[in-house]
């Protein structure tokens, strides 16, 4: 018998996810301001700037794209850079697969359209705790997407107010949130080993490998612990 109970995806659960992630969205709005300002200064039109945030919804990848933007955009390096930065979503989606596979296909991939680091971490914690509310993933993702888009629009006009969010320590908000999710999850020798190996390998990659690869390297090394150290069925 499967230990993965069929998840719930309801309007009520989606609203719950929206309101639970909303307090984190000040951080998202602040970086949206910085992106909106940087995009306009790079030469993107207002329509292009808003369209990128609306359709791509990937802050780090969007900033990386601005570094490559010019009169002639190098398509292949842009694709490779974007894939490398967002490759972690492959692993994030795989971690949710035991629950997502029980949904109809259109719901499954519709929910994943707004998956980001914060709503993924909160949802995975909830699922492991037996609270099978996938509305957290959808509602939280909508909150993050909406505030990122609002921040982008505001940044095009008022971005100089917070041109460098890290000056105010806003770059630490998401990291602290993710750490709280990790500490609040299941605690056993298997999970501790996975976190330690993931952290050490990510640090090594950060020091010695190309930029942004540390996220993928850490996730893969931590995941390998789960592959070779199987959890006993309940």
pLDDT digits (tens, 9 = 90+) for 197-224: 988 998 998 899 877 677 778 878 887 8
Q: What is the pLDDT of residues 165-180, one digit of tens each?
A: 666 665 565 566 556 5
pTM: 0.76
Q: What angle do CA 224, 230, 234 make, to 5 degrees?
A: 145
181 by Cβ neighbours in 10 Å (0-12 / 13-18 / 19+) ranks as middle
* Per-residue pLDDT at 145 exceeds 90: yes
Q: Please name which of 95, 105, 147, 148 lies closest in space to residue 126, comparing C-alpha atoms.
A: 95
pLDDT at residue 170, rounded to an integer: 56
Task: Please tell me whether residue 8 adopts helix, strand or coil conformation.
Answer: strand
26-40, 146-160, 206-220: which range is least confident on average? Answer: 206-220
Distances (CA, A) of 28 to 38, 44, 142, 158: 15, 21, 12, 15
- Please name the residue ranges forming H helices in 22-116: 25-42, 46-55, 59-68, 75-86, 88-100, 105-112
Most confident segment among 117-121, 164-168, 215-219, 229-233: 117-121
The full length of the chain comes to: 234
What mean pLDDT do residues 184-196 have? 77
Residue 35 pLDDT > 80: yes
């Amino acid at each position: 018998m499967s230990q993965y109970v069929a998840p719930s995806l309801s309007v009520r659960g989606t609203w719950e996810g929206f309101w639970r992630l909303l307090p984190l969205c000040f951080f998202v709005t602040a970086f949206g301001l910085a992106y909106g300002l940087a995009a306009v200064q790079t030469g993107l039109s207002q329509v292009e700037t808003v369209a990128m945030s609306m359709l791509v919804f990937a802050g780090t990848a969007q900033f990386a794209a601005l570094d490559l933007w010019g009169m002639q955009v190098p398509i292949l390096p842009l694709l490779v850079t974007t894939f490398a930065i967002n490759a972690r979503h492959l692993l994030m989606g795989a971690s949710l697969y035991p629950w997502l596979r029980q949904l109809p296909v259109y719901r499954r991939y519709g929910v994943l359209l707004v998956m980001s680091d914060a709503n993924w971490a909160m949802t995975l914690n909830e699922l492991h705790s037996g609270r099978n509310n996938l509305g957290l993933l959808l509602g939280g993702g909508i909150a993050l997407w909406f505030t990122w888009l609002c921040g982008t629009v505001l940044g095009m006009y008022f971005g100089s107010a917070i041109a460098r969010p890290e000056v105010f320590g806003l770059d630490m908000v998401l990291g602290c949130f993710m750490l709280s999710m990790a500490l609040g999850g299941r605690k056993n020798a298997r999970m501790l080993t996975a976190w330690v190996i993931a952290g050490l390998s990510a640090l090594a990659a950060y020091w010695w490998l190309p930029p942004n690869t540390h996220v993928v390297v850490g996730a893969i090394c931590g995941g390998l612990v789960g592959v070779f150290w199987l959890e006993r069925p309940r």
